Amino acid sequence: MADEPKPDRGTEKLTLIQLLPNMLTVIAICAGLTAIRLGLQGSYEYAVQLILLAAVLDGMDGRLARALKSESGMGAELDSLADFLNFGVAPGFLLYTWALEDSRSFGWLAVLTFAVCAVVRLARFNVQRKSEDKAHDNAYFTGVPSPAGALLVMLPMFLSFAFASGPFLPDMVLALWMVAIGLSMISRIPTWSFKTTRIPRKNAKFFLVAVAFALAAAVTYAWITLVLFCLAYVATVIVMLPRRRRAKTDD
């Protein structure tokens, strides 16, 4: 009996719900591009808020695609391009127009370094994701993820919005900070993946209360809360690093 012909994927119809993850990715791209435009106009707080929105959408689109069983190669590539724009290009460009535009060429070199590190980080992540190596530890990322790198590189802006009226660090310090965060993204440092974190059932209520408190703080004291989130993330990476190394040694 002859095999039945496979349906042409080009004529396959998708529901709007199945397209929702890609729609979120496109919205995130629009947010990143608009952030760059607002940065050129000097509306830095709104620009940063759009990058934060893009980070939230980035955390939603992949999970939504898996939940709806609508994952596709195009969606994965679109997500990578969105990550490069939103977390590799836009944050560095904002920092440049905010504080480094009047600096010498080292400011722009720092932006280029950060962007190149971001695209290399994303390329390495895509290779690992497509790899057949099932022994890869999903509890850890290799290097700082690009969304976290974007938040960390904007930390001087958060501090300024919270406690000052403009850039308060020397241009060279800001440029070196940007380069350091870029290098951390392509480093071999194991960073904790929150995707695999499990909360004991008996502690779930406390976790939900903590989330509610964090959201309330983010709405009331947005920039101070973001500063604390960044510092807490750095502390988490530092604390978890020796544990991860001990685990590798035991293996």
The 10s digit of each residue's pLDDT in 50-100 is 999 999 998 887 777 777 777 777 778 888 899 999 999 999 999 999 999
For 115, counting Cβ atoms within 10 Å of its Cβ (0-12 exposed, 13-18 middle, 19+ buried), the class is: buried
Confidence of residue 139 (pLDDT cuts 50, 70, 90): low
Structural domain boundaries in the chain: 17-129+139-250
Q: How far apart are CA 93 and CA 98, in angstroms?
A: 8
| Domain at 17-129+139-250: CATH architecture | Up-down Bundle (1.20)
- pLDDT, tens digit, 9 for 90 and up, residues 179-206: 999 999 999 888 877 766 677 787 787 8
What pLDDT does residue 53 have? 93
CA distances from 36 to 10, 31, 156, 161, 176 (A): 35, 9, 18, 18, 22
pTM for this entry: 0.84
